Amino acid sequence: MPCYSDGQVWQAIKAADAARASLDKLFDLIEHFFERLEVYTRILLSTGLTNIIVVIMVEVLSVLGPATKEIQWWKEGEWIHDVRPSFMIHLISAARNLMGIDNTADAALGRLERLMQKEVVMRDLQTLESMDKISRGA
């Protein structure tokens, strides 16, 4: 097993903390989307807004599997603080590579943020169209 310097150990810990922070942000984003979705189910939506909501739902579903895997990995890794730092780095690196979770949360977060920006545009457009209909008495 390779030996790691204190600097490498510190970098691994910082990277692990950053990955966990991204995962937290990802689930916050998903939670807020589901809160909006609850409102959307009570109103008539335009085709454009309905389409972007469907795309976001597909993305959310595709993210939940890997994100759940990463959460499970974190829970199972709680004991990791009790082992030697060199073993910890080797274990973190190997586990993340095997599970294919490198930057998974960051990538998903970026995709969802872009889709939700489109959602805001479509929602604003629907609001403007509704206001126009009201002002014309339709």
Task: Report yes or no on 7 lying in a domain.
Answer: no
Task: Report yes or no on 6 lying in a domain.
Answer: no
In whole numbers, what is the pLDDT of the chain averaged over residues? 76
Radius of gyration of the chain (CA): 21
Per residue in 92-124, pLDDT (tens digit) is 555 555 445 556 677 888 889 999 999 999 999
H helix count then E strand count, the chain: 4, 0
What pLDDT does residue 26 have? 83
Task: Report yes or no on 25 lying in a domain.
Answer: yes
Per residue in 30-77, pLDDT (tens digit) is 999 999 999 999 999 999 999 999 999 999 888 877 766 666 655 655
Domain count, the chain: 1
Task: Report yes or no on 2 lying in a domain.
Answer: no
What pLDDT does residue 98 have? 47
Task: Report yes or no on 96 lying in a domain.
Answer: yes
Structural domain harbouring 26 = 12-135
